[in-house]
Amino acid sequence: MIKLAINFLSAPLYSFTAFCILFVLAMKRMDIVGTKKFGMGLLIFTLVIFGWMVSDPVFFSVISLPDNIPIIILNALVFWSTWFSLYKGHQNDLRIAAGEPPIEGTPENREKVWAWPNLVYTELFCIIACTIFLIVWAIFFKAPLEEPANPTWAPNPAKAPWYFLGLQEMLVYFDPWMAGVVLPVLIIVGLIAIPFIDINPKGNGYYTFAERKYAIAGFTFGWLALWIFLIQIGTFLRGPNWTFYGPFEFWDSHKVVAENNVNLSEFFWIKGLNVALPKNIFVREIMGIILTGVYLVAVPFYVTKRWGQDMLSRMGGIRYYLLVFLVLGMMSLPIKMYLRWFFFLKYIVAMPEFELNL
Amino acid sequence: MSDEAKTGLNRREFFSFLAVGWITFGAATAGLLSLIFRFTYPNVVFEPAMDFLAGVPDDYPEGVDERWKNGFGVWIYKKDGRLVAMSNICTHLGCIPTWLPAESKFKCPCHGSGYYPNGINFEGPAPRPLERFKIYRNPDGKIIVDKTKVFRYEKGEWNAAEAFIEV
């Protein structure tokens, strides 16, 4: 009964929404999240739930696939590093609020030491530890090799390497040009551009949350919700034919899910105006083109007029609009996901004639 | 005087040594690069021929036929007196969909695109229908499928002369 409920609630629509709400709550209540008590509590809670889930044979068979073991490790590492940095930031926020310098700024921490041996020894031990770990891993878990590649056959489900499963999950909602080329390039360019865009000196050299709330929340949302979370879905919850399967659901390749997807042009002309699709493709896609224009041009101008004046004058035009463009690019993913879930919308602009679909 | 001339190189000899050295080095490098270049091409190519003989129309039952899928990447689809050759490459990102007879649809294992038996996309992210290949009869009446010519639905090519054969 509980398992059925979990299967149902882990569908991307509910689980992604729940994840976003929890994320916003966590960012709002840093006074709770940034404490040791919360970290320990969450860890124990997660371990208990995980232990209970592992006792289920179906769930165990999925997570014990050799491909999926890195994801378990990744979850533990992401959980730890996210919470630990928030905890450190919260500690410093309390100190700064009390008028003290951050922990990194205390005299004993400002003392300088030599890279050799202090840093190099640490690095050496890290290298040895990683090597041992990889050797042990390679001994105990065989590489999941398959038969030689065959251009007329694909395994089912055909899964990308684990670090690309978020991208593969993105591709469910986008054209390959968008999710395979444009958005990854935007992600990389955006990450490279962070030092250029971010000219706020707060938080340089010390952990903090309160001083950089929006920057941290925005970045962490993109990282946790739009990358890590999608990797989880792509890894554990996508089975044969890339159909969604709950964590306790057997991967029955004959599970039928109705998902007849419709383009915006078909919504507009056939369902809305009750006429056939126009022959001219630009007339056909006029609604999508207008909406895309509104999203990319009108929304930034309105937001700037309403809330962004202060930021615009602080950052300068190029930085500000680059930031706005990157944020719009990032938010296009959840927008597209919700449109697909609610309206079965396939493409906002669908021009397969030019291989252009948004 | 003659001893000194023997121990050192004069200007002309130095340059000829230099030239020999550089030419040798250049030749060795070029040879190595050519080996590397050759290495990028496989010794044996398992690519099937681009056109093949596909029997006579009566060989095929009504509906989707999978017999050429593994060898040539082609599904034969017969319906309403028309026989067509469909590509088995998903139009989303190029995976190979699976034919599910029970659900009567093609379903791509990579991102869940679904196609009707006639190749029209209806679910998942696939932006356009499966492509069709040129198909015609040779003078003996046998079917020939030619994969070098592609017919795309969104360009209105499915009713072109060689996109199907009447059966």
- Alpha-carbon distance values, A25 to A14, A29, A45, A217, B141 (Å): 16, 6, 18, 11, 71
| Predicted local confidence at residue B4, as pLDDT | 53
Size (chain A), residues? 358
CA-CA-CA-CA dihedral for A294, A298, A299, A304, to nearest 10: 170
CA-to-CA dists, residue A59 to A3, A14, A237, A338, angstroms: 11, 19, 10, 27
CA distances to A137, A260, A338, A348 from A345, in Å: 43, 9, 9, 7
Say whether A156 and B109 touch across the interface (CB within 8 A): yes
Asked if the model's pLDDT at residue A325 lies above 70, the reply is yes
Contacts of A240 in chain B (CB under 8 A): 109
Tens digit of each residue's pLDDT (9 = 90 or more) over A26-63: 999 988 888 999 999 999 999 999 999 999 999 998 88
Which residues in chain A touch residue B156, judged by CB atoms under 8 angstroms apart?
none
Question: Position of tokens 């990194």?
Answer: A104
Specify the DSSP element, H or E, that contains B33.
helix B11-39
Average pLDDT, integer, range A238-263: 84
**Which of A158, A137, A165 is closest to A235 using CA atoms?**
A165
Give the percent of chain A with pLDDT over 90. Answer: 39
Q: Which of B96, B111, B122 sits opposite A152 (nearest CB)?
A: B96
Please give the Cα distance from A152 to B95 (Å, whole number): 9
The residue ranges of every structural domain in chain B are 2-39, 51-166
φ and ψ of B78, to 5 deg = -120, 125
Q: Any idea which residue has 């360019």 for tokens? A: A189
Q: Tell whether omega for the bond before A184 is within 30 degrees of 0, i.e. cis.
A: no
pLDDT digits (tens, 9 = 90+) for A282-314: 888 888 899 999 999 998 888 888 888 888 888
Q: B44 to chain A: which residues are within 8 Å by CB?
A: none
Distance CA B14, CA A26 (A): 75
How many other CB atoms are found less than 10 A from the CB of residue B87? 19
A12: nearest Cα among A354, A333, A299, A358:
A333
Answer whether B91 touches A (CB < 8 Å). Answer: yes
pLDDT above 80 (res A264): yes
- Indicate if the pLDDT at residue A94 is higher than 70: yes
Interface test with A, best of B96, B110, B155 (most A CBs within 10 A): B110
Check B154 against A352: CB less than 8 A apart: yes
Beta-carbon separation of A152 and B72 below 8 A: yes
Q: What is the mean pLDDT of residues A139-159?
A: 83
**Any idea of the CA torsion for A57, A61, A63, A65, to the nearest 10 degrees?**
160
Q: What is the DSSP letter of A64?
A: T
The answer, for B72 touching chain A at a CB cutoff of 8 Å, is yes
Strands B114-115 and B143-151, how do they pair? Answer: unpaired
- Average pLDDT of A194-212? 89
Residue A68 confidence (pLDDT) above 90: no
* A-chain residue closest to B154, CA distance: A353
Helix H or strand E encompassing B123: strand B121-123
Question: At A324, which amino acid appears?
Answer: V
Q: Distance from B151 to chain A by nearest Cα, in Å?
A: 12
Identify the pLDDT of residue A221. 93
CB within 8 Å: A152 and B155:
no
pLDDT at A188: 93
Pairwise CA distance, residues B79 & B77, whole Å? 7
What are A's interface residues with B at a Cβ cutoff of 8 A? 150-158, 168, 171-176, 180, 240-243, 254, 256, 258-261, 346-347, 350, 352-353, 355, 357
Main-chain dihedrals φ then ψ at residue B87, nearest 5 degrees: -70, 145
Q: B102 vs A353: CB contact, 8 Å cut-off?
A: no
pTM of the model: 0.83
User: What's the confidence (pLDDT) of residue A108?
Assistant: 87
A258 contact residues in B (CB cutoff 8 A): 123
The closest CB to that of A174, out of B69, B98, B125, belongs to B125
Q: A-contacting residues of B 107-166, CB under 8 Å? A: 107-112, 114, 122-125, 127-128, 154-155
Cα A100 from chain centroid? Answer: 35
Please state the rounded mean pLDDT for residues A205-225. 91
**Count of CB atoms situated within 10 Å of the CB of B157:** 15
Q: Which residue in the set B72, B73, B93 is minimally distant from A180, CB to CB?
A: B93
* Distance from C-alpha of A273 to C-alpha of A275, rounded to nearest angstrom: 6
**Closest alpha carbon to B107 in A241, A160, A255:** A241
Of the candidates B46, B93, B96, which has its C-beta nearest A171's C-beta? B93
B154–A157 C-beta distance less than 8 A: no
**pLDDT digits 0-9 by tens, A327-345:** 999 999 999 999 998 888 8
Per-residue pLDDT of chain B (167 residues; tens, 9 = 90+): 455 556 678 889 899 999 999 999 999 999 999 999 999 988 887 777 788 888 888 889 999 999 888 888 899 999 888 999 999 999 988 899 999 888 889 999 989 899 999 999 988 888 899 999 999 998 988 999 999 899 999 888 898 888 899 88
Q: Say whether residue B16 is in contact with chain A using an 8 A CB cutoff.
A: no
> Considering only the top CATH level, what class is B51-166?
mainly beta
> Which site among A167, A175, A230, A242 would you substitute to test the B interface, given the most B Cβ atoms closer than 10 Å to its Cβ?
A242
Please state, in angstroms and rounded to a whole number, the distance separating the CA atoms of residues A180 and A55: 37
Mean pLDDT, chain A, rounded, equals 89
Burial (Cβ within 10 Å: 0-12, 13-18, ≥19) of residue B121: buried
Question: What whole-number percentage of chain A has pLDDT above 70?
Answer: 100
**Residue A275: predicted pLDDT:** 83
